Structure 1
Amino acid sequence: MKKGKGMKFVGDSRISAERNPHIPKDYSEYPGRTEAFWPNFLLKEWLAGSVFLVGFLCLTLAHPSPLEGVADPTDAAYIPLPDWYFLFLYELLKYEYASADWSLMGILVIPGLAFGALLLAPFLDNGPGRRPHQRPVAVGMMLLGLVSVIWLTYTSASHVDWEARAEANKPIPEGEQVAIDTDHAGYEIYQNNCMSCHGENLEGGAAGPSLIGIDRSAEEIATIAQEGIGSMPAGQFTGSEEELEKLVDFIISVNEDTSE
């Protein structure tokens, strides 16, 4: 009788099947094409992410991002800029086809198509290969998106002196106290007209910006006090011309003390 000939297999429910869930599946029949998600693939992803994170943290320690002070709505010459990771979208709005009457294209249509294409890339190119030359559509779309973001970010950042900008708008260090001359003739006028919005020590508050470190002339301060600026309405100051001069002199004297 030949081996295996006439052999019968009988199932017996009394015999329990031995299963060991801790033994990983054998992928030897698919060499180089797939691998176990845990721990093989997940470990590689974790190592790659850790290397990137450590490198990024070292970069932030070596070249910390310059921080600006609290926004000043009274400074009409200030040009706000988004954070560096949104600069490419900010630069996109400068082009003719994405600004003015076409601003909707730059805000929604173009970014929506770009990010939507990247989301669809794995489904448009779903071949079994894992090498770049075997995934031309997905790799091409990724490289196009990467080059576009880098170029737009570089173009936008190259027109801004970030260090000078941060120095000009640097925040007042936390805990630093500015000496206020409460005996000044304009201090009481400041209390009656400005303190509720700009704070007891001119440090600013929720309703008004800080008046410390402002670079404005006496005439400009007087005009703003009477006519307002930005979200500050006109008519906030209700004193006489003489009281206005004292108020302006008080604000300027405080800023002169902080610049010394």
Structure 2
Amino acid sequence: MQRGKGMKFVGDSRVPDKESRNKIPKDYSEYPGRTEAFWPNFLLKEWLVGAVFLIGFLCLVAAHPSPLEQQADPNNASYIPLPDWYFLFLYELLKYKYAAAQYVVIGTVIIPGLGFGALLLAPFLDVGPERKPSKRPITVGLMLLGVAATIWLTYESAAHVNWEERAKYSVANVPDVEIDEDSPGYQVYSQNCMSCHGDSLQGNPGMAPSLVGIPYKAEQIKDIAKNGIGTMPANQFQGSEEELNQLAEFIVSINEQASGSGEGGEGKSEDGGSSH
């Protein structure tokens, strides 16, 4: 048999052509509809989808603004703070025995850390090339478990909130009062209280609460002006007894307007049932 007869010699190079590889994109025609170049095809689609959701979210926010509450009042012990809806699941988690009190570190650090850590490790735990959810049990299972836990805890938290009771804290329900700046009581107020509580008794966040809607009567207001309350120190009022009476009557009259009761806040509880 003659050497080489019936045989074909094929060149084979194991050295990659780095120059051409960097300039010529990979040919994906062998896999139509299954994969594509990241730039610009895939990234452009991601941007378009993100833009659609962003525009939809902006329209939702414009049509239904977030319900804001009034400024915090350190003198109102009846107010129970409530986090925004996207933190309600953590708020509910802290109600359980082994996630609160002396175990608060478990509820605030360990459990959320394990949950988010599992989601971060999911791509490394499930490295299969399949794209079908049924072929990715670890990743899909962790994601479904996280979503289900978040939805359930959020629902449980929202279901136990008295939303009608909380509506009175809304900024939409701030009492609309008219202030007579020529009255003697307002003149006394401007000399003793305005620097902290504002020109319209609206309060100053971080300094002093609003005086509109407070549950105190005239005698209580005079006692607070002399002896202080909470973070308010004593002896803040500088004036005569007559001026103190004018100040108390002025604040009571404002609260009569705010409550609509015409009784100087007597219809409200003594434990601070109003909120600001």
TM-score (norm 1): 0.78
* Pairwise CA distance, 1:136: 0.9
1:151-193 alpha-carbon deviations (Å, 9 max, x no partner): 11111122224465244331688xx996432343322332332
Query: Which moves more between the two structures, 184-193 or 106-115?
Result: 184-193
Task: Report the counterpart of residue 96 of structure 1 in structure 2.
Answer: 97
* Pairwise CA distance, 1:237: 3.0
* Pairwise CA distance, 1:198: 1.0
Change (3 A) 1:231 1:34: farther
Structure 2 letter corresponding to 1:75 = N
CA distance in 1, matches of 2:105, 2:21: 59
* Pairwise CA distance, 1:93: 0.8
Change (3 A) 1:18 1:69: same
Structure 2 letter corresponding to 1:81 = L
Task: Report the counterpart of residue 12 of structure 1 in structure 2.
Answer: none
CA distance in 2, matches of 1:65, 1:210: 22
- Equivalent residues in 2 for 1:116-131 (5 A)? 116-131=117-132
* Pairwise CA distance, 1:201: 2.8
SS at match of 2:212: coil
CA distance in 2, matches of 1:50, 1:62: 18
* Pairwise CA distance, 1:59: 3.7
Query: Which moves more between the two structures, 99-108 or 230-239?
Result: 230-239
Structure 2 letter corresponding to 1:247 = L
Task: Report the counterpart of residue 44 of structure 2 in structure 1.
Answer: 43
CA distance in 2, matches of 1:122, 1:209: 50
Task: Report the counterpart of residue 198 of structure 1 in structure 2.
Answer: 197
Work out whether 1:247 is the aligned partner of 2:233: no
Greater RCO, 1 or 2 (C-alpha within 8 Å, sep 6+):
2
Change (3 A) 1:37 1:183: same
Residues 67, 166 of structure 1: 8 Å contact kept? no
Residues 66, 166 of structure 1: 8 Å contact kept? no
* Pairwise CA distance, 1:99: 0.6
SS at match of 1:76: coil
Task: Report the counterpart of residue 181 of structure 1 in structure 2.
Answer: 180
SS at match of 1:186: helix
Q: Return 5+ residue gaps in structure 2 as ranges.
A: 14-18, 261-276
Task: Report the counterpart of residue 14 of structure 1 in structure 2.
Answer: none
Task: Report the counterpart of residue 212 of structure 1 in structure 2.
Answer: 212
Change (3 A) 1:217 1:132: farther
CA distance in 2, matches of 1:105, 1:93: 9
Q: Return 5+ residue gaps in structure 1 as ranges.
A: 10-16
Residues 89, 157 of structure 2: 8 Å contact kept? yes
1:211-259 alpha-carbon deviations (Å, 9 max, x no partner): 2344444344344334433332333235555543321111122233456
Work out whether 1:52 is the aligned partner of 2:53: yes
Change (3 A) 1:5 1:99: closer
Change (3 A) 1:234 1:154: farther
SS at match of 1:252: helix
Residues 70, 171 of structure 1: 8 Å contact kept? no
1:16-46 alpha-carbon deviations (Å, 9 max, x no partner): x88994x642123456653211233223323
TM-score (norm 2): 0.74
Structure 1 letter corresponding to 2:231 = S
1:78-101 alpha-carbon deviations (Å, 9 max, x no partner): 111111111111111111111111
Same amino acid, percent of matched pairs = 63
CA distance in 2, matches of 1:46, 1:31: 22
- Equivalent residues in 2 for 1:219-234 (5 A)? 219-234=219-234
